[in-house]
Amino acid sequence: MYAYPDYSTLSIASLDDANQVQPKYHIYTESQLNWLVIEDNCQRYPQGRSR
């Protein structure tokens, strides 16, 4: 039914302590807002991430 049944999404604002979650990668970075600065070493994908 779903393309990625083991993949879940949620709003980071819904977490009690967002500092407990570390990103593993960033997707759709080609449409990233100009004012959003991401300062980490995670892999970036201009579009979606393939399996």
Q: Note the pLDDT tens digit of each residue in 19-36.
A: 998 888 898 999 999 999
pLDDT of residue 51 exceeding 90, the answer is: no
Query: What pLDDT score does 2 carry?
Result: 66
Q: For the chain, what's the residue count?
A: 51
The average confidence (pLDDT) of the chain is: 86
Beta strands in the chain (DSSP E): 25-27, 43-45
The whole-number pLDDT of residue 30 equals 93
Q: How many CB atoms lie within 10 A of CB 3?
A: 7
Residue 39 has pLDDT above 80, yes or no: yes
In the structure, what pLDDT confidence band is assigned to residue 44 with cuts at 50, 70 and 90? very high
